[in-house]
Amino acid sequence: MITPASSLHVLHLIIVFLLRAPPCPADGGTWSMLLPNIGISAMHMQLLPNDRVVIYDRTDFGTSNISLPKGKCRPKSKDCSAHSVEYDVASNSVRPLMVLSNFWCSSGSLMPDGSLTQTGGNADGALVVRTYKSCDTCDWQEIQNGLVQERWYATNHFLPDGRQIIIGGRRAFTYEFFPKTPDTQKAIDFPFLVQTNDPRIENNLYPFVFLIPDGNLFIFANNRAILFDYVKNQVVRTFPTIPGDEPRNYPSTGSAVLLPMRIVQGTVATVEVLVCGGAPGSAFRHAIKGIFDGALDTCGRITISDPDPRWVMETMPMARVMGDMLLLPNGNVLIINGGSAGTAGWECGRNPVLNPLIYQPGNPVGSRFVMQAPTTIPRMYHSTAILLRDGRVLVGGSNPHDKYEFTNVFYPTELSLEEFSPSYLDSTLSGLRPVIISPVNGATTMYGKQMVIKFAVSKNLNTSSVLVTMVAPSFNTHSFSMNQRLLVLHSGIPTIVRKSSNYQVTVTMPPSGNVAPKGNYILFVVHQDIPSEGIWIHIQ
């Protein structure tokens, strides 16, 4: 019998359900826990060409939850815990690494040889450059005074000549290069970072930087963007301010991607950038007083290859600050992690957004966003996400506290690693999924060269729905993925390989280092939006 009390209870459940129901159907992707405790909080992540991931946090807060190997301790310290680990995708396990100086809120880039070069950090680490070349027993190497200016919250980007450019950082209104060459020993003044800096909140840290095919850098800081010739040290173009004028960089942390670039006959005709989320300019000052402003729910998209580029604004199904934007192998953009109130910074974020979004750049405006299934773990400030070679997304970190805090706080320090599997990994689609037969993982190639890719698909192949894409593995921290780019290669029509049920397609490698700086990429064959497992290729 339904009593008034129990019918009220039912009504209450329905209301709770309605309140919790996402505003549009969440039908994509699945989550699962990979490792509940890797011993550190994953503030920075980089995938390496051997499918291991370098993960690191900071060194200056006390002990982590994983010991250094063989009873080692940090010099002149009672701290015998590790602040960096190497995660091995194949065995789903971590190995602790030793780092001496503080690489908190730093930046980095893979080098052409597949090693990670990481730059800057805080205090004793602000001028240090560290390299990590992966092997079973390898560890960090540190170069004291590798930088000429202290860099904390800077952005790095790899360059066609194999160096990286390191731009900005707190109170560092300059850029420099690494490795140093005789003509680039100094830091070079960069007034754009002064112009976009509001000294009260420094809303232009971790600028969004992309190398574009004409050889210039697109640089977005606060609410403005330029094209910059880093060779001549000249601003080539100034883009309109993003509509709404609200900041998009740390601590009003939004994110940005260079949308997939399609190469046709050796050229990229259209170059577009997408910037999503962030927080109002007032949000940081309010958050430190305990008032949490709503995050921005807009994205701005701009075709920077147009003679007269304009921002086109779109509205996301929900607002987000501290979201990560990742290019998926099929050219869609995943927007993941973050919250819907407050800003980046210790204790400054609220209302975790547990549902990722997928943005389909080729769809008409209004039908681009697809809500994804939610996780149960808030990934707030200091969380990370990177694409793995098999198409999964590795998600970690979240520590909005000065120390590791596990109880009696909003959003306890997260030591877990989860995976998000986009719906293209559903087993029901396996008949459509390409399997690359050759070349083998680790192949090398050269600019402009043709490559024959042999692959199998168990169901019928729709030859007009095959793409070959190539993704640069990015350095992820603070909601930005440095070096991230996806190229759709110029390709012929796939044909059947004689006397087999396999196919082959001939693709042309990118024309130059401005389109694809030399180094390591993951190549995918995509059929009807479903990517194969990727293979590493090295281009030079």
Q: Which is nearer to ligand NAG, 438 or 462 (CB)?
A: 462
Nearer to ligand NAG, 180 or 262 (CB): 262
As beta bridge partners, residue 220 has: 208, 225
CA 84/CA 44 separation, integer angstroms: 9
User: In angstroms, what is the minimal distance from the CB of 465 to ligand NAG?
Assistant: 3
Q: Interacting stretch for ligand NAG, rule CB under 6 A, among 48-56, 159-167, 379-387, 462-470?
A: 462-470
**386: closest CA among 336, 443, 319?**
336
| Min separation Cβ 37 and ligand NAG, Å | 5
Map the footprint of ligand NAG across residues 235-264, applying CB under 6 A: none
Window of 114-122, 304-312, 320-328, 460-468 that interacts with ligand NAG by CB under 6 A: 460-468
User: Could you write out the DSSP letters of every residue in 415-482?
Assistant: --EEEEE-GGG-GGGTTT--EEEESPTTEEE-TT-EEEEEEE-SS---GGGEEEEEEPPPEEETTEEE
User: Contacts with ligand NAG: how many residues (CB under 6 A)?
Assistant: 7
| Footprint (CB under 6 A) of ligand NAG, residues 413-452 | 415
Closest approach, Cβ 522 to ligand NAG, in A, equals 23
7/4 Cα distance (integer angstroms): 5
Dihedral sign from CA coordinates of 54, 102, 111, 44: positive
Among the listed ranges 69-77, 293-301, 434-442, 461-469, the one in contact with ligand NAG (CB under 6 A) is 461-469
Rounded distance between C-alpha atoms, residue 202 and residue 152, angstroms: 12
Nearest to ligand NAG of 62, 191 (CB atom): 62
* Closest distance to ligand NAG from the beta carbon of 66 (Å): 9
Q: Which x/- pattern over 4-43 shows residues binding ligand NAG (rule: CB under 6 A)?
A: ---------------------------------x------
Contact status, residue 435 vs residue 456, Cβ threshold 8 Å: yes
Shortest approach of ligand NAG to residue 397 CB, angstroms? Answer: 13
- Residue 395 DSSP class: E
What is the Cα gyration radius of the chain?
A: 23
CB atoms within 10 A of CB 409: 11
Q: Which is nearer to ligand NAG, 37 or 77 (CB)?
A: 37
233 in contact with ligand NAG (CB under 6 A): no
**Is residue 143 within 8 Å of 130, Cβ to Cβ?**
yes
Q: Does 363 bind ligand NAG (CB under 6 A)?
A: no
Q: Which of 93, 181, 465, 500 binds ligand NAG (CB under 6 A)?
A: 465
CA separation, residue 233 to residues 119, 174, 181, 396, 480 (Å): 21, 11, 16, 37, 24
Give the DSSP H/E element, type plus range, for residue 96: strand 93-97
Q: How far is the CB of 83 from ligand NAG (least distance, A)?
A: 14
Q: Is residue 66 involved in binding ligand NAG (CB under 6 A)?
A: no
Residue type, 196: T
Point out the residue whose Cβ comes nearest to ligand NAG.
465
67 binds ligand NAG (CB under 6 A): no
194: part of which helix (H) or strand (E)? helix 191-195
Tell which one of 93, 185, 233, 462 touches ligand NAG (CB under 6 A). 462
Based on the shown chain and the rule CB under 6 A, indicate whether residue 181 belongs to the binding site for ligand NAG: no
65 lines the binding site for ligand NAG (CB under 6 A): yes
CA distances from 473 to 34, 107, 437 (A): 20, 14, 22
Question: Of the listed pieces 286-294, 304-312, 368-376, 459-467, which binds ligand NAG according to CB under 6 A?
Answer: 459-467
Residue 106 CB, nearest approach to ligand NAG (Å): 24
Q: Which is nearer to ligand NAG, 40 or 394 (CB)?
A: 40
Instruction: Kindly write down the DSSP assignment for every residue of 251-301, as one continuous string.
Output: TS--EEEEPPEEEETTEE---EEEEE----TTHHHHHTTT--PBPP-EEEE
Q: Which of 406, 438, 442, 501 binds ligand NAG (CB under 6 A)?
A: 406
Binding to ligand NAG by residue 265, rule CB under 6 A?
no
User: What distance in Å separates the CA atoms of residue 261 and residue 314, rounded to the nearest whole number?
Assistant: 20
Contact residues toward ligand NAG (CB under 6 A) are 37, 65, 406, 415, 462, 464-465
